[in-house]
Each structure stands twice: as structure tokens, then as C-alpha cells.
Chain A
Amino acid sequence: MENKPRMISGSQLVFLLLISRLFTLFTFVPRARTAASGSTALLCIPLAGIAVGILLLPSLLLFRRTQTGLLDCAFQVGSGYGLLVSLLFGAFCLYMAAFTVSHFSFFMTSVVYPNSTPWVFVILLTLAAGYAASLGLEAFSRMSVWVFSLLLLLLVLFLCALLPEANMVYLTSPLLDGTPAVGKGIFYTAVNHAEAVALLLLLPRARRAGGRTVAGWLVLTVLAYELLSFLTLTVLGDYAKTRIFPLHTLSSLTQLSGFGRLDLLHITLWIFAAFLRMTVYLYCAAVCLRRMLPNLRFGRACACCAAVSGVWALMTAQGMRFWNQAAEQIWTVAAPFLLLAVAAPLATLLFTSLGQSPTGKGNGK
């Protein structure tokens, strides 16, 4: 009874992806040349949300038609194609897991433990996330509800503490840098929604998931991003551009009467978010690996993925040169997103439509 895989709820999937997405806000580095900054970013965030929604339409259409996951559809098209899609998705998930743990260890060694080396954080976080991934999707998706509650608490405290400090003088016209800057900002912000790849893999495991789930995720992400970016901009102003982690600076400056500084809460939430994000990607990578090697047990698949991403992170976390270079080249971010979240579902949809009669199975809800 308890051994069969369970479905998670659509809201749990939304929380999971929202927290995972917010992790990138914590690691937001304003000096990256590709990132939109200031008031332009405030305009780009909602427009990028709409763009992602449009870009995900093929995936949603595919899911609506077949009611199965992208990997299932890919294997139905052909085993070679299925293996290729699994390999690409799995590799991307491992890349994102390594990215997460590297950025996290960079934050920890820069801000919280300046005298430590990154490998401690890489190893501990990889171990914990690998363990959580092996427990199954429902375990960490249920956990995301608690973390979401913590996130809401942090947002409320931030609002209470920082709204009086907000200075609207820092708000300028979002078109001040010109329309190309806005377009570039929208594109960059949209392709940074790497969670869309995880969404495609997890969507079939969510009950009654579909367009509403995706819309809910995008709306909540845009709201949280917009709010935190607005506070960072109006409270820190130009000072934010000089900081490596503006959000952490913001929380360090926050004083809330009896609560004191909020950076403890911020660091706690950061660790939770890193843990969940790492777990999501390790789980997705393990799912892809098992598609390629069906005889491999899930626990071992998680261990393999954790080991690979851990080694990758260990090799790249020191100095962060690899990740900084990757962040500065917009196509290294955009290409995987466009290939996996847009092109792969579109191709699969076409293949499926061509190989299926109009009265064939999977007419959707």
C-alpha cells in the first residue's frame, strides 16, 4: 500500500518550483552583464513571466493530449529518441544541481563562513539532498509546504521592516536604457526559468496539473521576484550594484523591533531553498537515469547523480570562474532552456501527432 508511487498535489509542485526559482534571486549578481538592473528589471520580470507561459504552450499541449510525461512520449516516438531526450534532460538536471551547490557554497564561504573551504558545503549539501531525493518526490514536495510558509513569513517581515525605508527616488523610467535593454532583460529573465525543465519532468506526477499549475507557478514567482526586487531597489538603491548578494545585504540591514536582524532568517531560508532545489534536480536526474537504465534501483540512481553533481561542483566551486563565465554568456543559459523546455516538447508533439491517428489515444481531459 505504501510502496506505490503517489501523486503530489498541484500546489505542492508550485511551491517546489517557486522556492527553487527564488534561489536564483538569492544568488542574483547585478554586475553580470546580461542581467537587467534597476527599474528595467521591474518591468522585465512580469513580461518574462508571460513569455515563459507562451514558450511552455507546446509542453502543455503535449501533456494535455497525452496525459503522460515528456519522457514517456519520447520513448513512444522511438527508443533512440527517448534515450536522447532522457540524456539531455538528465545532463541538464545534473548541471543545475552542480550549479546550485556551487553557488550555495560560494555564498556560504563569502558571507557566513569566510574562513571555510567550499568542499565542506558541497559534500554536506550533496549528501543531504541525495538522501532526500532517494526518499521520493512526495517527501520533499510535502516539505516544500513548510518552506513556503517560512518564505511567506520572511516576506511579511521584510515588508514590515523595509517598506518605511523604501525611497522612491531610486525608481526611474524602465525605458530609460532604451527598448533593446528591456527586450534583452525580458529574454534573459525568461530563459533563466530553468525550473521549466523540472516542471516538464514533474508535471505528470501532480494531480490535476496543467495550465493552472503552470500559471500559478509563474504568477507567484513573478510576485515574489517583483516584491523582493522592488525592496532591494528602493531600499539599497545604487548600493545594491556594489554588493555580491544584495538580498543578503538587505536582510542584514533590516531591523524589526524585537525581532532584531533578519539575516538569520534569510540564511535559514537560503539553506532550505538550496536544499530543495538541489533535491529537485537530483530527483529529476535520477528519473532520467532510470529511463536510460531501467534495471537500476532508484536509490542507487540518486546516489550516482549526487556523486556526479558533487564532483562537478567540487571541481568548479573554488573561484567560481566556470559559473561566472557561464552566467556572462547569455546563450549558455538560453540554449538549454530553449532546447529542453521549448524545442524538445515541440518536436515530441509533432512526432506524436504525426504518428497518431486523430482518434488515437490521449485526447486530453
Chain B
Amino acid sequence: MKITEMFKRRPAAPESAYQPPQPDAGLDRKLAPTLQQRLSDLREMVGNTGDLIVNELAVCGIDCAVVMCEGMVATAVFAELFAEPLTALRLDQPTPEKLLGWVRHQSLLAPDQKEFHTYGDLTRFIMSGFVVLLAEGVEPGLAFGIQGYDGRSVSEPAGESNERGSREGFIEKLRPNLSLVRRRLKSADLTFEMVNFGVKSRTDGALVYLRGAVSPELLEEVRRRLSQVKIDVVLESGYLQPFLDSKPLSIFSGVGYTERPDTLCAKVSEGRIGLLVDGTPYALIVPYLFNEHFQSFDDYAHRPYFATFIRWLKYAAFLFSFLLPGLYVGLGSFHPELLPKNLLLKLAQSEAVTPLPLMFEALLIFFIYEIMREAGLRMPKSVGHAVSIVGALVIGDAAVTAGLIGAPMVLLVAMTAISSFVVPSLYEPVTLLRFGFILIGGIAGLFGIVLALCAVLANLCAINPLGVPATSPAAPFSLYAMRDVLFRVGWKTLSQEDLRIQGLTGSDLKGEDADGE
């Protein structure tokens, strides 16, 4: 590129040949007037799929069809609450309108009952596990929510265990997840706004927020961003995360996640928005501040001084997890004079017999550790012990005995690995940063490490998830919000003033001059 071209306006991007995913054809068409035509259209739309069940029957002499998806409906409930009352129904001078009126006003075939008029809704309800009733001579179809597909029951969250709080975690099914939240927040302000993602998958989701607490501007922005999701298939909430993130290429994310309904409730009550997606046992939370990675539900059950101690422990563990190996390499390679004499002698003694320079030794052992971690995560549980044995004996013991790796380096790996699991939500950035800091420490020593730390800090400070600075309330400073950052004050103080995400200094979710410095 010529230098002069840098100063010219960038031309508009050429039209791409890529066509965004298109929804299935004919979804917005109205239902056909005759039952047979509707069934024929439906079969054509779903391509005679094998799991479509169509039961044609006459109710009081009126031709009807009960349509459902195999394996998606609770069979016993269907038989008892739906099939039996419908087949036993007797109407005087039956007409399709009378049948519809009976279903609408005189029966309760299912608590969740919806009317629809288009093929799009028809297929969506069927594929979501509803039982659909179509009758000859009446336009709307009726959908009954008696889903009963198999799934995991509510169990303890695997990634966010705690000592004293609830043992319930989100599961893959959306509706039970909504009930887990509702049970904890019985406020009339709690709203579940149903949304749909994926042009083909049409995955159900729910925005969770507390009216009165959430900023309307924030809500509008989240809706706007989610409306821009043009993906064929959404199988996991992680697919949506980049659309909510303000700087998707940043090391840190402004979108948090939790598998605990109580944590989601706490966040929602602070004016944040949760997003539950069918098929994902995690809720996304926006906006998510950096200090929240260090908060856990137990903090609020413990006494303040212990909670504060744990909080500091987590900060230290976070710093250890990405800085310690780099510092060890940097100080050992470039600034041994800065280490205490006895420690230096011990390190020199063990490193004198190893063939690799410190930086390569560290890179090698952390690379092996990441391979073992990944293998342990993906492989069947039954062979997990083998990986542990290989890791502990072959890498840990044999490599040191053979003089390939120094014993302090093994100790460092152990400390760093354990520390990185103290704040599991930051594991991804920490792992990458660790390698980066080892490299820069080995190349430029302490100077490189501090400079890289500057760049990482600047990167973190540049994140403004949905208009709220990620480093808030420390920078920009909000005194009242700091009560739960470095120290966790007692509940008597915490309860004096509610924290609202839009009330933090530097937040864009309010008037220009509404913040206090």
C-alpha cells in the first residue's frame, strides 16, 4: 500500500457473494382453509420427516388432526389430560366453532395453550414439543404445551460449587430454568422476554430482567444486538456471546456467564440482563464487570472478614496464574540479582543440570500441561486416572529425575495450574496470557513483563460492555460500589443502598451529568 493511500477515505466494501441464511420458505403463509390441505402442506414443508406423528380423528363428527413430534411429548400426560377428554367429548349440534369454543373456554387440556394462524408457528410449535390440534372448518390451530422430552434433572452446578448456597444449577431445558429463576424472584417485575435465535434451528431463548431495575437503554441495546444475529443454527449460548460483546477481539469479555440461578437473580436485581438459551445450562449476563469474576455466591454467606480474605486470595491467585511463570523466567534469565540469595542458589543448582534455557523449559512444560488438561477433559472418565498417572509420574517425576526439567519448574506448574482454577471464568485469557508472559519474560525480562502488563491493562480498561466500563467501580471510581470489590462489607451496610449497574461512574446508561465522581 502506498503511504498516500493511508490518508484517503476507505472505499466501501465490495458486495459480497455470500448470502445470509434464509428462513424456510412459506413460513409466513396463512394456514390453508381445509384440513387435508394443511396436513399436505405440513408434510411437504417438513419433508415427510420420520418423527412427525399425525393422528387424524373425528371429534363429535368433526374431522380433526392431532400433530406432534415423536419423543417430544409427555405420553402419559397427553393420554390423560388431552386424548381422553377430547375423545369423550359430546356436543349438542356440533360445529367446528362450537368445538373451538369448548377447547378455548370450557376445557383445560393443557395449562400452556396457544392459537396460531401461520405455517411458521405450526412447525415451530410442533418442533418445540407442543401437541397441535387442527380442525376442519376453523382457521386457527391450537397448540398445547405438554412437552415431555427426556433431559437431565436439576443438579448441582459442576463449575460453580459452593459451601452454603443452593445446590441447584441450570439444566439444558429452558422452561425449568425459567422456573428456577422465578422461584427465587417472585417479584411481578421479573420478566422473561421470549426470543428466538437461528434461522434454521429457531432455538428458544429468554431475556431475563427486572423491570424498574434495568435501564431501558440497556434493554433496547441488547434487543438490537440480538436482532442482528443471523446464524443458521444456534446450539449454545456461546454462539451469541460475540454479538453482545463490545470488543470481540479483546482478551477479556464483557459478557459473563453463570450456571447458578441464584447468581443470575442477584445480577438481574442489579439492573443487568440475563439470557437463557434452550440447550445451554448457562445463563449469559450483560454487562459483566471485571471484578465480578472474583465474586462468588459464598462470599455473601460467609462473614465479611472471611469473604474479604477469600476475595484477596482470588486476586492473588489470578495474578499468580499468569504472571508467576513469566516472572520466574524473566528474573531467572535477566535479573538474578533481584532474587534473594538463598533462593537464587537453590534455583541455580536445579537449573544447572537441565539442557534447555528457562524460557523453553517453561514453554515446554506448560504446553505439555495444557495437552494433559485437554486430554483429561475430552477423554472418557474411565481412563482419566491413566492421564493423572502419566502426568504425575512421567512428567512430574521422571522428567526431573532425568534432568530434563528443573524441580522448581514443576512446582511452578503445579502452583500456577491450581491458581488458574481459583477463578475459572478467567481460565481462557489466563492461559493465553501465561504463554505470552513466558515468551516476553524470556525475551525482554522484567521490562518486557511490565510492558506487556501495561498493554493488557490498557486492553482491559478499553472494554465498555454495553456502555459500562469493565474496570468499574475501581476505574472510573464509584465509592459506593467499592464496598463489594476489595472488601465485602457486612449486609447491614450492603442493604443500605442498592447497586444499579447504570449508577456506576462512567456508565453511558444514564444522563451525562448523573454520575458522581
A190 CA / B256 CA spacing, docked (Å): 49
Which residues does chain A contribute within 8 Å of B467, judged by CB atoms?
A: 1-2
Q: Is the CB of B7 within 8 A of A275?
A: no
Q: Is the CB of B508 within 8 A of A260?
A: no
Cβ of B337 to closest chain A Cβ, rounded Å:
9
Out of B246, B455, B462, name the residue touching A128 (CB < 8 Å): B455
A127 CA / B77 CA spacing, docked (Å): 66
5 A-B pairs with CB atoms under 8 Å apart are: A6-B508, A113-B445, A124-B448, A143-B461, A296-B7
In this complex, what residue of B is CB-closest to A207? Answer: B517
Which residues does chain B contribute within 8 Å of A260, judged by CB atoms?
A: 340
Q: Is the CB of B7 within 8 A of A295?
A: yes
User: When A112-B446, A146-B457, A300-B6 are in contact, do A275 and B451 touch as well, CB less than 8 Å?
Assistant: yes
Q: Is the CB of A9 within 8 A of B447?
A: no
Partner-binding segment picked from B268-276, B307-315, B353-361, B469-477: B469-477
Does A208 sit at the interface, judged by CB under 8 A?
yes
User: When A138-B462, A295-B8 are in contact, do A11 and B451 touch as well, CB less than 8 Å?
Assistant: no
Which residues does chain B contribute within 8 Å of A108, judged by CB atoms?
A: 447
Does A268 sit at the interface, judged by CB under 8 A?
yes
Q: Is the CB of A113 within 8 A of B447?
A: yes
Which residue, B246, B334, B451, B508, has most C-beta atoms of chain A within 10 A?
A: B451
A304 CA / B5 CA spacing, docked (Å): 13
A271 CA / B453 CA spacing, docked (Å): 10
Q: Which residues of chain A from 208 to 226 have a CB within 8 Å of any chain B CB?
A: 208
- For the A-B complex with A139-B462, A145-B477 known, give 7 more contacts whose Cβ atoms are closer than 8 Å: A1-B466, A9-B477, A112-B447, A113-B447, A135-B459, A143-B475, A271-B447
In this complex, what residue of B is CB-closest to A133? Answer: B458
**Count of A-B residue pairs with CB < 8 Å:** 116
Q: Is the CB of B462 within 8 A of A208?
A: no
Does B9 sit at the interface, judged by CB under 8 A?
yes
A11 CA / B451 CA spacing, docked (Å): 24
A128 CA / B452 CA spacing, docked (Å): 8
Q: Which residues of chain B from 467 to 517 have a CB within 8 Å of any chain A CB?
A: 467, 469, 471, 474-477, 505-506, 508, 517
Does A32 sit at the interface, judged by CB under 8 A?
no
Contact with B along A276-300 (1 / 0, CB 8 A): 1001000000000000010111001
Q: Is the CB of B451 within 8 A of A271?
A: yes
A326 CA / B307 CA spacing, docked (Å): 55
Q: Is the CB of B475 within 8 A of A145?
A: yes
A162 CA / B190 CA spacing, docked (Å): 59
A136 CA / B475 CA spacing, docked (Å): 15
Interface size for A (C-beta < 8 A) is 47
Q: Is the CB of A145 within 8 A of B464?
A: no
Cβ of A338 to closest chain B Cβ, rounded Å:
32
A263 CA / B446 CA spacing, docked (Å): 12
In this complex, what residue of A is CB-closest to B8? Answer: A295
Which residues does chain A contribute within 8 Å of B464, judged by CB atoms?
A: 2, 6, 138
Q: Is the CB of B450 within 8 A of A271?
A: yes
Does A264 sit at the interface, judged by CB under 8 A?
yes
User: When A112-B446, A132-B454, A295-B8 are in contact, do A142 and B466 touch as well, CB less than 8 Å?
Assistant: no
Q: Is the CB of B451 within 8 A of A113?
A: no
In this complex, what residue of B is CB-closest to A125? Answer: B451
Out of A2, A10, A120, A132, name the residue touching B466 (CB < 8 Å): A2
A229 CA / B449 CA spacing, docked (Å): 29
Q: Is the CB of B474 within 8 A of A145?
A: yes
In this complex, what residue of A is CB-closest to B507? Answer: A6
Which residues does chain B contribute within 8 Å of A143, judged by CB atoms?
A: 454, 457-458, 461, 475
User: When A135-B462, A264-B446, A268-B450 are in contact, do A1 and B6 touch as well, CB less than 8 Å?
Assistant: no
Which residues does chain A contribute within 8 Å of B17, judged by CB atoms?
A: none
Contact with A along B49-79 (1 / 0, CB 8 A): 0000000000000000000000000000000
User: When A2-B464, A12-B476, A296-B7 are in contact, do A124 and B457 touch as well, CB less than 8 Å?
Assistant: no
A108 CA / B446 CA spacing, docked (Å): 11
Contact with B along A102-133 (1 / 0, CB 8 A): 00000010001100000011001100100110
In this complex, what residue of A is CB-closest to B6? Answer: A300
A295 CA / B6 CA spacing, docked (Å): 9
Which residues does chain A contribute within 8 Å of B340, judged by CB atoms?
A: 260
Does B335 sit at the interface, judged by CB under 8 A?
yes
Does B444 sit at the interface, judged by CB under 8 A?
yes
Which residues does chain A contribute within 8 Å of B517, judged by CB atoms?
A: 9-11, 207-208
Does A187 sit at the interface, judged by CB under 8 A?
no
Which residues does chain A contribute within 8 Å of B158, judged by CB atoms?
A: none
Which residues does chain A contribute within 8 Å of B160, judged by CB atoms?
A: none
Does B24 sit at the interface, judged by CB under 8 A?
no
Shortest beta-carbon contacts, A-B, top 10: A139-B462, A142-B461, A145-B475, A142-B475, A132-B458, A135-B462, A271-B450, A275-B454, A2-B246, A2-B464
Q: Is the CB of A9 within 8 A of B454?
A: no
Does B221 sit at the interface, judged by CB under 8 A?
yes
Does A308 sit at the interface, judged by CB under 8 A?
no
Does A267 sit at the interface, judged by CB under 8 A?
yes
Which residues does chain A contribute within 8 Å of B459, judged by CB atoms?
A: 135, 139
Does B338 sit at the interface, judged by CB under 8 A?
yes
Does A89 sit at the interface, judged by CB under 8 A?
no
Out of A8, A12, A124, name the residue touching B451 (CB < 8 Å): A124
A120 CA / B447 CA spacing, docked (Å): 10
Which residues does chain A contribute within 8 Å of B446, judged by CB atoms?
A: 112, 264, 267-268, 271
Cβ of B349 to closest chain A Cβ, rounded Å:
21
Q: Which residues of chain B from 432 to 448 have a CB within 8 Å of any chain A CB?
A: 444-448
Does A272 sit at the interface, judged by CB under 8 A?
yes
A132 CA / B454 CA spacing, docked (Å): 8
A113 CA / B448 CA spacing, docked (Å): 12
Cβ of B275 to closest chain A Cβ, rounded Å:
17
A121 CA / B451 CA spacing, docked (Å): 10
A131 CA / B457 CA spacing, docked (Å): 12
In this complex, what residue of A is CB-closest to B338? Answer: A264
Does A337 sit at the interface, judged by CB under 8 A?
no
Which residues does chain A contribute within 8 Å of B448, judged by CB atoms?
A: 124
Which residues does chain B contribute within 8 Å of A295, judged by CB atoms?
A: 7-9
Q: Is the CB of A138 within 8 A of B461?
A: yes
Out of B221, B445, B455, name the residue touching A131 (CB < 8 Å): B455
In this complex, what residue of A is CB-closest to B461? Answer: A142
Q: Is the CB of B505 within 8 A of A124?
A: no
Which residue, A2, A140, A293, has most C-beta atoms of chain B within 10 A?
A: A2
User: When A2-B467, A131-B455, A136-B462 are in contact, do A272 and B335 touch as well, CB less than 8 Å?
Assistant: no
User: When A138-B462, A143-B454, A271-B454 are in contact, do A112 and B476 touch as well, CB less than 8 Å?
Assistant: no
A275 CA / B194 CA spacing, docked (Å): 48
